[in-house]
Chains A and B, each alone.
Chain A
Amino acid sequence: MKLSHPLLLVWVALMLLLVSTVVASQNLTGPFSLAVNLTIAFAKAALIYWFYMHLRQESGLARLAALAAGGWLAILFLFLSLDYVTR
């Protein structure tokens, strides 16, 4: 069974990101820790979407369809925090 190297490389990158998020969380606190950990999570998600979920090969339209929910979720978070932060 031949290993598909690009996929394997992505896996290695994902594992490195996992290690870095654990290390970061043990050394950082507060909003900075949250920001770093979420950034790493987005990086992992991006790798999975781009390489494993075929967005690399798909058309712009398919990419839009795949990512639209992320944009809409951002609306929810933006206005929710607008209320809670200024209440």
Chain B
Amino acid sequence: MTDTALPQPESSNFQNEGLSETGTERVSYLRAGHSLSSWLLTTDHKRIAILYLIAVTFFFFIGGTAAALIRLDLLTPQGDLLTNEGYNRAFTIHGVIMVWFFLIPSIPNTFGNFLIPLMIGAKDLAFPKLNLASWYIFMAGGLFTLFVLIAGGVDTGWTFYTPLSSMFAHGSVVLAAVAVFIAGFSSILTGLNFIVTIHKLRCPGMTWRRLPLFVWSIYATSIILVLATPVLAITLVLIAAERLFGLGIFDPALGGDPLLYQHLFWFYSHPAVYIMVLPALGVASELVAAAARKPIFGYQFVAGSSIAIAIIGFLVWGHHMFVAGQSMYASAVFSFLSLAVAVPSGIKVYNWTATLYKGHISLDPPFLFAMSFIGLFTVGGLTGLILAMLAIDVHVHDTYFVVAHFHYIMVGGTVSAFFGALNYWWPKMIGRTYSLVWGRLSAILIFLGFNLTFFPQFLLGYLGMPRRYHVYPPEFQLLHVFSTVGAGLLGVAYVMPFAYLYYSMRYGTPAGFNPWGATGLEWTVPSPPPKHNFETIPVVDSLPYQYDVELEEDHG
């Protein structure tokens, strides 16, 4: 924390219950209207970010509840808790909610919304009303999903593979498809808004080489959102039409091809993996530089690798189809390209490491999350290379090895980065500091709980336990028990940040402009920022991450 003078709560505002309000807060976006409609009809990107934060947190816990059911059911080899059908529905709703209603909107729609205008020196996003509209569209999709949940759920898995989804599945496949279809429009509009904002609303002097890396990665993410999501939309339309009218596009008996579904689905859904992880990579870049108090190593490469990941990410979808009957020549090409996508990812990890090298590293909560992000992302990425290799994939395809791999990326990576971002920018968003001790504790517990949950799943998969089964041979039980215990720990640890952050809203000390002593335009405005962000539009005249380097040796 910096030792510059903090704005103090005004004594006249000390009410009972310790509620207080600083002068900064009184003119901030948080107090610019107190009615419900001032929130629900706002076009302020910061308020919309808060709306998204509340929504995705809600869905995170719904999806988490489904995960808890799955893990409890897997405690015993017979699957005592859920029926076969019930288990299928639990993992489907877990997947659908976590992918489309938490991971994809999590970092872009909350932190992207809040930070992009602040980071590039703009008063708002390019299309503020569209931004609000996309929140409503997202909520409409979310309500549909909840309706599907209440109506009994779906049992196809989040991938809706044909012919299961089109001919055999019971449950509300069409409704679930509609829900995701609607949410997709929200993604497209948000992505479009970000792209135009980053191109057209940068303040004077904010050249591409001076953009914060978080902005670069959100830009890359937005490209995928705009170009891939419509293909998912039409694929879902085709699934619904196939199920309702028996079109035959995915039915070989009618001249169609079930693999075509997988092609169209993964043309979206593999890039969607990068939608989920690219923003996390951007967060990590910000946090690493702030933790090490050094300029990021190889800025151009870290920025360029985001774009490279976005583009190469479109060329690898076939690695989901190695054992599905795809042409072996296509498989070979997809395998090679999947290995190639590791290069830009590797560039990022090496550059972060080089940034940290000899840095005077802070271990405050956000930075602990960033460190655990780097470790878990690396494990997830390296096991991804294993899966990208044709011959090995044949053995571990559709096993827990795959489950562990993508959870290391999605949960170990993206969720850690989400909490890192939440802890890092919370004082900016709310204007209050929180308990660093509790923050560190929860970062460590999340790291431990995560590894205890998912590392055993690598072993399970390697030993041959297939995914999506809840009845298994007794010799797998021990590893499953470890995993479930880990999930319990993880569940508790995930609640902690919300508890201490909520507490800080009432009882935290005022944060001041720049509690972490970080660089970036967002730290030059008051916390919480005023309604229009900047009194006068700033002018940028230097590169980002210009920290005064304090090397480790300088301090003995």
Contact = CB atoms under 8 A, between A and B. Distances in A.
A/B touching: CB–CB < 8 A: yes
Interface stretch (A22-30, A45-53, A75-83): A75-83
B272 to A, nearest CB: 14
Interface stretch (B327-335, B344-352, B518-526): B327-335
B315 A68 contact: no
B34 interface: no
Q: DSSP class of A's interface residues: helix, strand, loop or mixed? A: helix
A85 B334 CA distance: 15
B227 A82 contact: no
B267 interface: yes
B412 to A, nearest CB: 29
B340 to A, nearest CB: 14
A65 to B, nearest CB: 8
B29 interface: no
Contact of B263 (A61, A72, A80): A80
A75 B224 CA distance: 13
B331 to A, nearest CB: 9
B555 interface: no
A47 B303 CA distance: 36
A44 B409 CA distance: 45
B112 to A, nearest CB: 19
A40 to B, nearest CB: 25
A26 to B, nearest CB: 26
Given A69-B227, A76-B267, A82 B315 contact: no
Nearest to A81: B330
Contacts of B318: 79, 83
B425 interface: no
A72 B314 contact: yes
B327 A61 contact: no
Contacts of A75: 314-315
Given A61-B199, A75-B315, A79-B318, A86 B263 contact: no
A75 to B, nearest CB: 5
A79 B227 contact: no
B342 interface: no
Contact of B227 (A72, A84, A87): A72
B231 interface: yes
A66 to B, nearest CB: 12
Given A61-B199, A72-B314, A82 B263 contact: no
24 contacts: A69-B227, A72-B227, A72-B228, A72-B314, A75-B314, A75-B315, A76-B231, A76-B267, A79-B263, A79-B317, A79-B318, A79-B330, A79-B333, A82-B329, A82-B330, A82-B333, A83-B259, A83-B326, A83-B327, A83-B330, A84-B327, A86-B328, A86-B329, A87-B326
Given A65-B195, A87-B330, 15 more contacts: A68-B223, A68-B227, A72-B227, A75-B314, A75-B315, A79-B317, A79-B318, A79-B330, A79-B333, A82-B327, A82-B330, A82-B333, A83-B330, A85-B327, A87-B327
